[in-house]
Amino acid sequence: MKTLCSCLCIVTATLFSFGIAHANPQPVDVLQQMSRAGRSLDYEISYISISKQGIDSLRYRHAVIDKQPLGQLLHMDGPRREVVSHIGGISYFEPGLEAFTLAGDHIVDALPAIVFADFSYLEKYYDFIPVGRNRIADRLSEAFRIVARDGSRYSYVIWIDSVTKLPLRIELLDRDGEPLEQYRVISLLEGEQVKSEMQELLSISSPPRLSLPAAENVELDWSIGWVPAGMHEVARSRRKLPNISEPVESRLYSDGLFSFSVNISPSGSNVGQQFYRQGRRTIQTETRNGNEITVVGELPPSTAKRIASSLSFKVQAQ
């Protein structure tokens, strides 16, 4: 009898643990579901974007028709400004300007970059912390905080719809927990109605596609000694700017969530160290060895300063 009871206890405990595991998926799994939902579902969201520059009211639609993803971003106030993503790229339509198309697979202007992030990569460098549930846009949502483990970047709090897994609210916070930007959904529609309204986009002829300069494989005689964990170089360039005789050299870094560039140009004077921050963007400048070092990106000022200080120039052979 004791043996039977023991077996029943083990089976019950196993089933209970199995149920808990499925009822409470890992945060990274929920975030990955959000990333997939944003690319695969047929939906329409009306939302506001709040930053230090003001408040914008927008509508974003997405549908997959005949295996072809389509997206449309519309600014709801002022002159009609529209961005459309289709198989040919991303097309921009603004009054007073000639329409054009850029290469791309989704509208980067529509949703915060975190929506399309690769969370399986980011979990090596960030903590994903569940912070409870809430009601957003009359829908039940699960909230998570995304925090860099090395403390070198800003953090996010994101509320995800429990049913569709679409993001309902996203806040970007500085290192003191103060909001820098906020994305907040006001209404969410999904299903065949959205797909039907998106059908007309299939007949839109693409504006001329702009060709961007080919990436250069340039050798630079300087390097960065420290970057936040998970950041890696994604591009480099050497280019001429108006009114500057010597070219400006740049390296671009990203972890898929935040990015920054380091730029080197000749300095006409010794201005010491300066920094300027507006919202999420910081500009850190210092002069060394006749060169002006400028770090520009989505970083706290202390992080930008540390990056600039870690830069070193190669010793030129005599």
For residue range 40-69, list pLDDT tens digits in order. 999 999 999 999 889 999 999 999 998 889
Q: Does one domain contain both 133 and 179?
A: yes
pLDDT at position 10: 47
Model confidence band, residue 246 (pLDDT cutoffs 50, 70, 90)? confident
pLDDT confidence bin for 250, thresholds 50/70/90: very high
**First and final CA of the chain: distance in angstroms?**
90
Contact residues for 304 (Cβ-Cβ < 8 A; gap 6+): 260, 275, 282, 283, 284, 295, 297
The reported pLDDT for the residue numbered 53 is: 85
- Pair 168, 42 in one domain: yes
How far apart, in whole angstroms, are the C-alpha atoms of residue 64 and residue 51? 31
What is the chain's mean pLDDT, rounded? 87
d(CA 85, CA 110): 10
Same structural domain, 175 and 243: no
CA distances from 114 to 169, 196, 199, 309 (A): 12, 28, 28, 28
- Which CATH number covers residue 254? 3.30.200.100
Distance CA 304, CA 313 (A): 18
Least trusted range by pLDDT, from 14-18, 115-119, 142-146, 233-237: 14-18
Q: Do 164 and 41 fall into the same domain?
A: yes
In a domain, 6, yes or no: no
pLDDT at 158: 97
- Both 129 and 278 in a single domain? no
CATH number of the domain bearing residue 151: 2.50.20.10
Rounded CA-CA distance 85/91 in Å is: 6
| Three-state secondary structure call for residue 263 | strand
SS3 assignment, position 113: helix
Q: Do residues 308 and 284 touch, judged by C-beta distance below 8 A?
A: yes
Q: Are residues 248 and 107 in the same domain?
A: no
Res 20: pLDDT: 42
DSSP state of 310: T
pLDDT of 176 strictly over 80: yes
- The whole-number pLDDT of residue 179 equals 93
Predicted confidence (pLDDT) per residue in 194-242, tens digit: 999 998 888 777 888 887 666 567 889 999 999 999 999 999 998 877 7
pLDDT at 8: 45
Q: Which range of residues forms the domain containing residue 45?
A: 25-203
Asked if residues 181 and 157 have their Cβ atoms less than 8 Å apart, the reply is no
DSSP run (H or E) holding 182: strand 179-190
At residue 269, the pLDDT reads: 63
pLDDT of residue 214: 62
Alpha-carbon Rg for the chain, nearest whole angstrom, is 24
Q: Please determine, for residue 318, whether its predicted confidence score (pLDDT) is greater than 60.
A: no
Per the structure, the count of domains in the chain is 2
Q: How far apart are CA 292 and CA 272, in angstroms?
A: 9
Residue 140 pLDDT:
97
- Tell me what pLDDT residue 273 has: 77
| Average pLDDT of the residues in 169-186 | 94
CA proximity to 45, closest of 72, 77, 84: 72
Q: What is the pLDDT of residue 315?
A: 67
Asked if the model's pLDDT at residue 11 lies above 50, the reply is no
Query: Which tens digits make up the pLDDT trace of 140-163?
Result: 999 999 999 999 999 999 999 999
- pLDDT reading at 183 higher than 80: yes
Q: Which of 157, 112, 153 is nearest to 132 (CA)?
A: 157
With beta carbons less than 8 A apart as the criterion, state whether 57 and 75 touch.
Answer: yes
Tokens 């791309």 label which residue? 104
Q: What pLDDT is stored for residue 107 in this prediction?
A: 86
Distance CA 299, CA 296 (A): 8
Instruction: Give, for 159, the enclosing helix (H) or strand (E).
Output: strand 155-161
194 in the same domain as 305 = no
| Domain-embedded: residue 210 | no
Burial of 176 (0-12, 13-18, 19+ CB in 10 A): exposed
